[in-house]
Structure formats: C-alpha cells, structure tokens
Structure 1
Amino acid sequence: MALEDAFTNFTERDWERKSPDGTVRLAVIGVGGFARNRALPGIADSTYCETTTLVTSSPDRTRTVADSFDIPNVIDYDGFLAGDHAAAYDAAYVATPNALHGTYATVAADRGKHVICEKPLDTSLETAQEIVDACADAGVTLMTAYRLQVEPTVRRTRELVRHGGIGDVAQIHGTFSNPLLDHADPDTWRLDPDLAGGGALVDLGVYPLNTTRFLLDCDPDGVYATTHSSGEPFDPVDEHVSFQLEFPTGATAACTASFNAHANSRLELIGTDGMVTIASPFGGVVPQEIVVESGDLRMEYTGPPVDEVREEFDYFGYCVLTDTDPEPDGPDGLADLRVVEAAYESAKTGRRVGLE
C-alpha cells in the first residue's frame, strides 16, 4: 500500500456491502450520561437503528428525555424483566453498570432480542460467558460495544498495518486518562468494585487493550500489570494502572490508564519500517488526526468529522438486518475479560501471568 493512498477513502464503510431495508428498534437499558448525551443522539442520527423504549429507574424523570427524542415507551427495570412493551423493540442496548449487564442481556436474549452490550460484557468471565451462551442458544446477534472498531481512523490504521505499511509491528504505546471526579460524584458506581468490577483498567484500560488486539488481529499470550490508588475515594478500586501485553508475534504493548490524571489519550504503533500515531483515540470524540512515518516519508492527515457512536449503532443495525456476525462479538468481549482478570492477578502477585 502506497503511503499517500492509505487514507484516500477515509470514511469508507468497508463493512457496508448491502443496503438493507428497515431499522432495528432498540430498548435502551440504562439512561445515564453517556446514553443521554452520546448514545441516544447517535441512534437518532443513524440509518439502521431507532430507539422505541427507554428502561430506567426513574420513568417520570426520564419522560423529558423520551420526549426530546420522540421515544414512545418508558418503563422501569422491573417492567423490562416482566416483558412490558416487549413487542415494541427488536434489540436491547445494555448501558447499565457493569455488574448488571448479565441480568438484562440474558433476559433480552431469552426473549429473542438481539443484544448490543457496553464493555466489559460483565464483571466476571463466568457471567459474560452466560451472556454469550444465551445469545447463541437464542440465535440472536450479540455485539460488544467497542465503537473504535468502526471508527475510520482505527479501521484505516488496521488496513495500513495489514498491508505492511510500517513493516512488522514491534511496539505499541496506548494511554487513556480521564479525571473521573471532574464529571462524577465520589459515590459514582464506577468506584464501587461490586458494580464496576474494577477501576481504571475496566473503565478506561479496555480501550487501548481492545484496540491493540483489533489492530494486530492477535491475542496476547502474557500480561504484566501494576495498580495504585492514592486514597479515598479511589481506595476500593485501581486509580491508576499500567500493563504490558506480550503477543505471540513478538510485539509488545505498553498501556496505562488513570481515573485521576490530566485528560489525555494517545495510541502509537512502532514497526520495523515506520510508525503511526493517532491523536486522542479514546476520549469519546476522535479528532481523526493521524501521523504516519514510513522510510523517508512522513504524512500528517486529518479526516472529516465522524460520529463513532452513530457508526457503532449503524454497524450493529446493519449486522442484525443482514444476518452478519459483528467483529466485536461476544467472544471478543470474553477475550478482553480474560486479559483483565490476568492483569489483576499479575498486579496482586507481582508476576507475569500467561494467557492461553
């Protein structure tokens, strides 16, 4: 691949090979900040999905949100479990705290509904496997909500890597820090290990973890990790995490994540013949700024704005409507959870942990 051609079709939806009719009607389960500010607008702008039902602990307070997006049905969690308005949706988007993913995803699958579930799939590998099994038994689509896998900068970078544009990848550096208390109270569920399943690693570290696996098309065979918390309110979870992934190709990835550091994200791939740097890939709004160096050539590229959340729901809807298996499927979510559990074991024991 010629370097100057690497991003010619930057916004190309290489996964979109048909033009299916209709939309997938969604029940959005959990109407927190991300759902209100990013997911619902993204779904509203999408071609293949629409929201028909909101599931919330406070239906009365959520009516205003429903009205602003012209969503006809608002029910509470017990109502969802009981099957209220089940005929009004085809799929469930599970955006609850992590420990509740299994409950709502498996109920949706048992009801014959497709599932798109926020990451991680659950707080334990065992429960996540139950989600995967329930969706497989019901014959419904399961997608883990790794939106960066449909984000153009990341997809074009994967193509560049696959075509040997920077030679063999030797090193990856990924970092994601976000000062949690700047936008959340100290009693946020993200600092409750029973609800979150961990701290900075499961909330932020999964972004460089999954993106690295996606770009290399390979799973790590070893991990070494350290965690640190400086005091309240971070004591119950990991405030900061650093982990190194070892891949069977010989590549290594050095990743960090933090709940209490200046907001920053960056991804860098260093190959035998060049390197790729992506600015702010994990912060929620990717600026599509990328630098590629290969031999004597250096290219800086800024692509047009793309809403990765809209792309995510369009991709999910497309997969459901065309009976296509999504790339970030259930097993993809399981693979990350295996690494997360191994990383926490490593941090506890101070030793490298091997992965099958």
Structure 2
Amino acid sequence: MKKWIFVLMASLLSLHHSMGQDPVKIAVVGLTHSHVNWILGREDKGDIEIVGIVEPNTDLAERYLSRHDISMDLVYKDMESLFEKVRPEAVTAFGSIYEHLEVVQACAPLGIHVMVEKPLAVSMEHAKKMEALAREHNIHLLTNYETTWYASNHEVKERVKDNSAIGPLRRVVINDGHEGPKEIGVNQEFLDWLTDPVLNGGGAVIDFGCYGANLMTWLMDGQKPVAVTAELKQIKPHIYPKVDDEATILLDYPTTQGVIQASWNWPFSRKDMEVYGSTGYLIAKNNTRLISRGTGENQEKTEMLSQRPYPYDDPFSYLAAVVRGKVKVGARDLSSLENNMIVVEILDAAKESAKKGERVYLK
C-alpha cells in the first residue's frame, strides 16, 4: 500500500512541476542506439514534446515508431531537413558516439541545446571541438548516463562529502557491464557501430568504462587522476574481433585509488559501486539498494531508498528543467560538460596505457 501511495505522490509531483509551462520541444537525432527506447517509450509527463526525429534508415524508423505508436510524419532524413521545418529547443542524440560531434556542429550555431548518450565523445579531439562550439554559442551540452539517476549513488555522494560516514576515501571500485551486446541481443544497427573501433572508439572500455570515469570524477569533486593505467583484453575475439570486450582501468589520485571494471563478459548485467573509506564502506548495489558499514558498527546494514525526486529521476525531465532555467548545471555535476571532458580524457589515456603497456600521466 505504501509503495502505491509513493508512486501516486511522485506522479502528482511530476504533474505539478510540469504544469504552467509549455513542454520543451525536443528532436531525436538517430535511432541506432537502443537506449532511444527510453525517450520514445517514456510516460508523457507534460514536460517535453518530440517535434522531429532524424533517421535516414526508414526500416529502422518504422520498427521503432510502430513499437511506440509514433507517426512516421515526424521522421526526417537528416538534420538539415528537420531544421527547415521545425526548430527544436533541444536535441537528444542516439546515434554512434562518433556522430556526436556532427550533432553539436549542426545544433550549436542555431542555439539548440544538446544531450548525448554516454560518453560525450569518441576522443579528446572530438570533445575539444564540441566544447568550443558549446562555449561559443552558449548552449547546454549534457551527457546522459543511466547511473546519474540512481538514488543510491547520490546517497553515497552525500555521505562521503564531509568524511564523517566512512572517513576519507581510499578506494572506489565501479563495476559496469553485461554478458556482451551480441549475447543480450541488441539490434544489428546498434551492434554494427558499437563494435567498430572508429565509430565507438573502442569496445567495453568505452561502452562501460565511461560510467566509472564519470562517477569517479564526481566523487572526487572534479579532480583529475594523476595517472591512468589500463589493461584491455579480447576474451571473445571470435565475436568481437575489432575491439576489446574486457577493460580494467586504475585511476591514481594522491590518497585515493579508483578501480573501473568494464566488461562484456559478466555472467549477468550489473551497475554497482563500492566506496571504501578509512573507517567504513558504502556499496550502491543498484538504483535504490544501499549497503553500508561504518565506524563502530559490528555488521553491515541494507537500506532501500526512494527513487530520486522530479526532475532528477529522468534525463529528459532534467533536460527540460535545464532548458527552462529551473535547474542550473554545476561544473561538478554528473551531466556537466566539465565532468565529461575529464571522462573522455581518462578513456583516451586508458586506451593509450593499454597500447603502450605503461601508466599514462595526465596533464
């Protein structure tokens, strides 16, 4: 009964926040990333309106839109055709990571805000160009991660910020991955670029290593690691001949170590984080489950947390609130451009470290 009351209250709160303002006009650019189901199948909260979809692959567009009962009249073959007809306030990019730069190049001069799926860019070369465009044209350039909306991660952050819960941070272990994109049955269009070293920038190191780099940078309040050491493996070269499917990345800070374990070889899907201090630990097992043990406690305890409040529970509610000026993006926030520039720098360093067989020092 309590659960249903909470769900009802959350729905009413969402409705309250979205009332009194026009929905933010959003265009979806690209449908090859299967995470696009997140926005196409999203409950209508009244805060966004999809005014156009860019996808040159008509067959792919028909498959997705028929699934979600969306009209093909919204589909355009390219961004130029879209912008001739409608002017969205923001764009969400669901193509390959390599295509993120092209999206920002098209949107920034028009003053259109952009949210990309993780990570921000395929390389620092692309990331710097995107950053320059966003700064020059004063647009928001956000990066979306599933784990940004986890209540457990935010509770961990709150408890470690003053060192009182578990003492100063000593080690953080971040685990992200699944059995492999082919093994879990992603659509072929997604698989084609996800396993391409140019279009995705790598394999598991990019696909799942970015989560750990994002969270670690956040926990360290925007501090860069001194050095990055990584080992990339191809455990299944017969399935993924061009990219790694296993990545271990060590981030070295003056008094803290970050361990990122990114894999297409887990026996099951997982996104969890272990945070160890000098006097205790916190483990975010999933979105709402938190395990902890602190100073003077003889055994660990488990807590089930509530979902995050609107608009911090959903990337598109968050995007709408940012566009409307109701939420200000801080430089140290998970979605921020500043955080995600460091993420790309870490990923580039990880690939360089694995290639050279040595630790790479960041400038």
Task: Give the TM-score category using the shorter length.
Answer: 0.7 to 0.9
CA distance in 2, matches of 1:348, 1:47: 48
**2:112 equivalent to 1:101:** no
Unpaired segments of 5 or more residues in structure 1?
A: 1-10, 12-17, 281-285
CA distance in 2, matches of 1:352, 1:60: 45
CA distance in 2, matches of 1:73, 1:304: 39
Match of 2:216 among 209, 212, 219: 212
Displacement of 1:81: 2.7
User: Under a length normalisation based on structure 1, what TM-score does the superposition of the two structures give?
Assistant: 0.84
CA distance in 2, matches of 1:60, 1:348: 39
Give the 3 Å change call, closer, same or farther, for CA 219–22 of structure 1 in structure 2. Answer: farther
Displacement of 1:162: 0.6
- Secondary structure, in 3 states, of the residue corresponding to 1:188? helix
C-alpha contact 1:148 1:154 (8 A) present in aligned 2: yes
Give the 3 Å change call, closer, same or farther, for CA 45–255 of structure 1 in structure 2. Answer: same
2:347 maps to amino acid? V
CA distance in 2, matches of 1:308, 1:148: 15
CA distance in 2, matches of 1:85, 1:71: 19
Determine the structure 2 residue equivalent to 1:169. Answer: 169
C-alpha contact 2:232 2:354 (8 A) present in aligned 1: yes
- Secondary structure, in 3 states, of the residue corresponding to 2:51? strand
CA distance in 1, matches of 2:253, 2:117: 26
CA distance in 1, matches of 2:192, 2:311: 25
Determine the structure 1 residue equivalent to 2:23. Answer: 23
**2:353 equivalent to 1:353:** no
2:305 maps to amino acid? G
- Secondary structure, in 3 states, of the residue corresponding to 1:131? helix
CA distance in 2, matches of 1:86, 1:197: 33
**2:137 equivalent to 1:131:** no
CA distance in 1, matches of 2:317, 2:26: 12
CA distance in 2, matches of 1:83, 1:190: 26
2:38 maps to amino acid? R
Displacement of 1:33: 5.5
Aligned length: 331
**2:315 equivalent to 1:312:** yes
CA distance in 2, matches of 1:86, 1:159: 45
% identical equivalent positions: 22
Give the 3 Å change call, closer, same or farther, for CA 156–246 of structure 1 in structure 2. Answer: same
**2:203 equivalent to 1:199:** yes
1:253 maps to amino acid? G
Displacement of 1:46: 4.1
1:101-123 residue CA offsets vs partner (Å, 9 max, x unmatched): 11112201122211111122221
Displacement of 1:87: 2.7
Determine the structure 1 residue equivalent to 2:182. Answer: 181
**Which sits farther off after the overlay, 85-94 or 120-129?**
85-94
Match of 1:334 among 341, 345, 358: 341
1:277-305 residue CA offsets vs partner (Å, 9 max, x unmatched): 1114xxxxx3x111111123343111235
CA distance in 2, matches of 1:204, 1:46: 29
**Which sits farther off after the overlay, 315-324 or 305-314?**
305-314
Match of 1:303 among 285, 288, 305: 305
Displacement of 1:156: 1.6
**Which sits farther off after the overlay, 58-67 or 107-116?**
58-67
**Which sits farther off after the overlay, 341-350 or 225-234?**
225-234
C-alpha contact 2:51 2:86 (8 A) present in aligned 1: no
Displacement of 1:242: 0.7
CA distance in 2, matches of 1:157, 1:47: 31
- Secondary structure, in 3 states, of the residue corresponding to 1:211? helix
1:181 maps to amino acid? K
Displacement of 1:65: 4.4
Displacement of 1:239: 1.2
Determine the structure 2 residue equivalent to 1:224. Answer: 229
CA distance in 1, matches of 2:34, 2:290: 26
